[in-house]
Amino acid sequence: MSSVRKSEGWPLSEAKARISELVRLAQKEPQRVQVSGEPAGAFISEKDLQLLMEIKKQKMAKMLDRLIRSSQEEGIHSEDFGELRGPIKDIELK
Amino acid sequence: MIIDTSVLSPLFSKDPKKQAQVANFLQQQPRILTSAIVIMEIEFGLQKLGSKKVLADFHEFLEDETLLDIIAVDTQITLLAAKKRAEMQKKGIILHTEDLLIGATAKMLGVPIATQNRQDFEPWNIEIISPFS
């Protein structure tokens, strides 16, 4: 049973009932939780969470760097965008 | 918080300091939420200038759901925006559709708005964050 859970995840009701065990097992590897049979979330260790957040931060930094560099290389700048919103129709003042 | 166009667009500023400011601010956020309307405005700006490279990179940024959460305009948002438009019109204040929909998105989610145009979002009674001042 536990090998099935490992790959497919714990049903939410079971995860609720066995939360301490999930947190303990999560120290070794992430424990997936399913809602209505679909993967919906997971318990992970603090160490894994820190790593995940760091990777996410690096990924974001890389993407933003790329956008900044492209903007400078292509000479495309927000100062030249002009008005980005649609026009407001003049209203008649009574 | 919802990121407004005025906070995201200086990522493409001529001034590298302003670009870095946006990048630093965005990197500090655990999650970046924005409205599909903000995406429309940035896309419009890039299209007007005939961008190819920045546009392609921007599209890649949009497609990565792990980087950006784009909130679509749904019925609830349009109803909130319409109600606010009527309320403000009675006071003789005309708001841009775009700002109304962005404001309504923040209101619906119950999150602050990060903007450089405070006055555009004041009618909403939501927390307004000015990240670069």
* Paired residues of B34 in beta bridges: B3, B70
CA–CA separation, B65 vs B86, rounded Å?
35
**Alpha-carbon distances, residue A17 vs A11, A20, A64 (angstroms):** 10, 9, 43
CB–CB of A86 and B97 under 8 A?
yes
Q: Is the predicted ipTM greater than 0.90, yes or no?
A: yes
Q: Which of A71, A79, A90 is the best mutation test for B, with the most CBs of B within 10 A?
A: A71
Shortest Cα distance, chain B CAs vs residue A75, angstroms: 8
Q: Percent of chain B at pLDDT above 90?
A: 95
Of B11, B48, B53, the CB nearest to A64: B11
| pLDDT over 90 at B133, yes or no | no
Whether residue B97 contacts residue A86, with contact meaning beta carbons closer than 8 Å, is answered with: yes
Place of tokens 């305009």: B73
A and B: number of Cβ contacts within 8 A: 95
Residues with Cβ within 8 Å of residue B112, at least 6 apart in sequence: B1, B2, B106, B126, B127, B128, B129
- The answer to whether the CB of B113 falls within 8 A of the CB of B102 is yes
DSSP 8-state assignment for residue B9: G
Q: Model-level pTM?
A: 0.86
CB burial of A71-92 (b: ≥16 within 10 Å; e: otherwise) equals bbebebbbeebeebbeeeeeee
**CA dihedral sign, ordered B35, B37, B38, B42:** positive
Per-residue pLDDT of A33-69, as tens digits, reads: 999 989 999 999 999 999 998 999 999 999 999 999 9
Closest residue in B to A79 (Cα–Cα): B13
* Tokens, residue B76: 């609830």
